[in-house]
Amino acid sequence: MSDRCKVLVFGGTTEGRILTEHLVRMHIDHEVSVATKYGRDILKDIDEDNLLVGRKDEEEIRKVIIDGGFNLVIDATHPFATEVSRQIKSACKEQGVTYLRLLRDTGKKASCSADHHEDFSAEVDTKGTSDVVYVDDIHKAIEKLKRVSGNILLLTGSKNLAEIAGGIPDSSKRLYARVLPSEDSIRKCTDAGLSGRQIIAMQGPFSKEMNIATIREVDAKAILTKESGRTGGFDEKIEAAYSCGIKAIVIRNLESVTKDSNSYSMEEILDIIEDKPGDDLDYSHNNNNKIITLAGIGPGGSEYYTRELLKALESADIIFGAEAVLRNLDSSVTDKLKNAGIPIVKEYNGEVIYQLLTKDINGIVNNRYTNPVILFSGDISLCSGAKKATEVFEQKGYEVRRISGISSVALFANKLFLSLENVKIVSAHGRKVNVRDYVETNKETIILPSDADDARNICKGLSDLNIRIVAGCNLGCNDEKIVEIRSITNKITNDKDDIDEDKGDIDKDKLNKDDIDKMVLLCSQDDTNNNILNSIEGKTLLYVYNENADSKIYAGGICDSDIIRGKTPMTKEEIRALSIRKLSLSQDAVVYDIGAGTGSISLEAALSSPDIKVFAIEKNEEAISLLSQNKEKFHVSNMEIVKGIAPDILNDLATPTHVFIGGSSGNMRDILKLVYDKNKNARVVINTVTAESFAEVMDLLKDYPYLEPDIIQVSVTRFRKAGRYHLADALNPVYIITLCTDQDILSKR
């Protein structure tokens, strides 16, 4: 190999053009190979004399390397052109020539203002309401798309249309594809079952505004795109999804999934060429020692900062965090960071932060930050965004360092002198939870609401119970206050040892002086009016004491007489018990009760665990009214009433894990198809009385050979008193058919 660096670039992409411009300016001896006339056209005004045009196989690539005497080959082809890259790499290996892969800039994936500085010296707010989900391949993308309710816009071209359409329920109704205006593309659309306005044949590139217009025109709830970089309009697609507040599912650039030691950014490749020409080429500039710190700052005030946190802040070269977290950061800390020129960025999403760390605001590769720190409120181990961020950065090859903080739960318990081993902690932050069920089954509960409004609504929902409620607002901050919302005996106390087990009250004389100053004495037992509830503000935790908790026992059985029935048919108590047993509900089950009637099955399922989500599907107006009455009577907030006819009404519901069918309105075949399209492993229990209905179900099972039916027929006879005698009163025999996989039925029999 000669001492002189001679570079062969395989281009045809924007990255290849930019690299060529650098090589021309650096006066590096080079040639550029492109496959098409398009590749030639984007380079002819820059470097026409050094162009090789035409597709080449591995043997031809090897010949070009030998004839040209190249000692460095840079692969700047399209990231999804994996076969071409394989051939280039193989040819280089055989000839003993250094091979470098130029990584594509895959976009910033965040809405950043153009006026922000490259070095993040300004505070950057990268807000967005879209949920960006990354997957490694088309199969995983399809699995994600199955969970989407509503229309889907495909921005991945026509290549995999048939596979995508075949994997998504109702694709002929809710799938839209934007493809090139060619006969081949349109034919692939029609072959996939798309027609009419589902086919959008247009030539790009497309602006953010055009993408927004398309999303709104088809009423898309999600888009599917590839991480194809700026030249593929990736940024504009993601920004449009952010603007419309919809999900964006992204198939990762294969390089980001399979990156090896030969893959480099533009900046790294230029450093290699400039620093070590010829035989001394240094191609070991990889970044395998990436470190990021995720730290909890505690509830707010600097007095709750740990020494480990302060040490991390001192060594940080960039700080990230949610706006509320950064706002609560002590001014002495922020002043010190700003004086040292440390950027403070308003962002907590791991995926977005990763992009910001690897690229500056203008999208140029950026490796300058070696000690990034992401701040989270409270402790990172309790209901924290640090969980997702940890997963993101570990997948990206980072060493993740985690620093615990003091949680607001621990602080709240300390101020009320509670022993946490006696307290049930319930997170209702950002999700629907049957809080009442937890309160009724636990003497002491600490609840983490989403915000102050949510806290107020929770208090209203518990207003009929004889319980004590204390709200802790902005704990650990200057405006901290503890509000007594309800009190059993109008006394306030602050020492766990002085709590009367029968009363749940705290002796006011035991309060610390600082806590007395912060305590708002609003403690009338029946006074839960708006004045008291409006005193709840800011970040809030709720403590609930229920002295009657032990008196609530639910053993999986509601008496028929307790259910408001009217004239609507109802699954009887004995049949319910067996049917619920056959459903084998998991702790976090999603249940469809199809043909819910009075809601007896829905009630049993919802009451079995507050974490279970139940959809009671019913078409009859009278039954809908009874469902509402029973839902209110039994206080099951995790039961949702859905008016309509299955299967059509099921399309937009969450994917079921368990399904009970008590009435199908003649749609059994279509119901089962939709259920198993949504989740082929769903556990289904069917109740039927007539031999004809039983025969129909057995006939339908021919379409599902992988299912193993578990069939029983139950005859129940009750006895009623008639004078001095008790007479038999037989119920109709009922078939209970359980449909599940072979493995499932063996484990749950």
Read off the pLDDT of residues 398-433 as tens digits, 9 standing for 90 and up: 889 999 999 999 999 999 999 998 899 998 887 778
Tell me, yes or no, whether 463 lies in a domain.
yes
Averaged pLDDT, 467-481: 90
Tell me, yes or no, whether 423 lies in a domain.
yes
Domain harbouring 321, CATH code: 3.40.1010.10
Tokens representing 548 are 């009657």
Whether 519 and 482 have beta carbons less than 8 Å apart is answered as yes
Residues with Cβ within 8 Å of 23's Cβ and at least 6 positions away in sequence, in order, are 7, 9, 30, 47, 273
Domain harbouring 206, CATH code: 3.40.50.620
Averaged pLDDT, 353-380: 75
Q: How confident is the model at residue 527 (pLDDT cuts 50, 70, 90)?
A: very low
Whether 544 and 595 map to the same domain: the answer is no
Whether 356 and 498 map to the same domain: the answer is no
Whether 627 and 541 map to the same domain: the answer is no
Q: How confident is the model at residue 530 (pLDDT cuts 50, 70, 90)?
A: low
Tell me, yes or no, whether 270 lies in a domain.
no
Q: How confident is the model at residue 556 (pLDDT cuts 50, 70, 90)?
A: low
Averaged pLDDT, 444-469: 91
Whether 590 and 666 map to the same domain: the answer is yes
The DSSP symbol for 409 reads H
> Which among 562, 560, 558, 564 is positioned nearest to 622, based on CA atoms?
564
Whether 715 and 591 map to the same domain: the answer is yes
Domain boundary among 341, 371, 406: 406
Averaged pLDDT, 302-329: 89
540 bridge partner residues? 473
% helix, strand, coil for the chain, step of 5:
40, 20, 40
Tell me, yes or no, whether 129 lies in a domain.
no
Domain harbouring 588, CATH code: 3.40.50.150
Dihedral sign of CA atoms 132, 137, 139, 140 in order: negative
Tokens representing 322 are 């949610």
pLDDT of residue 254: 64
Domain boundary among 349, 372, 406: 406
pLDDT of residue 163: 92
Residue 23 domain boundaries: 6-102
Domain harbouring 25, CATH code: 3.40.50.720
Averaged pLDDT, 457-472: 90
Whether 493 and 355 map to the same domain: the answer is no
Tell me, yes or no, whether 643 lies in a domain.
yes
Return the amino acid letter for 438: Y
Averaged pLDDT, 667-692: 93
Averaged pLDDT, 127-131: 49
Whether 430 and 316 map to the same domain: the answer is no
Whether 333 and 192 map to the same domain: the answer is no
Report how many domains make up the chain. Answer: 5
Whether 495 and 546 map to the same domain: the answer is yes
Q: Is the pLDDT of residue 22 over 60?
A: yes
Report if pTM > 0.75.
Answer: no
Q: Is the pLDDT of residue 518 over 70?
A: no
Q: Is the pLDDT of residue 260 over 80?
A: no
Whether 711 and 568 map to the same domain: the answer is yes
pLDDT of residue 275: 59
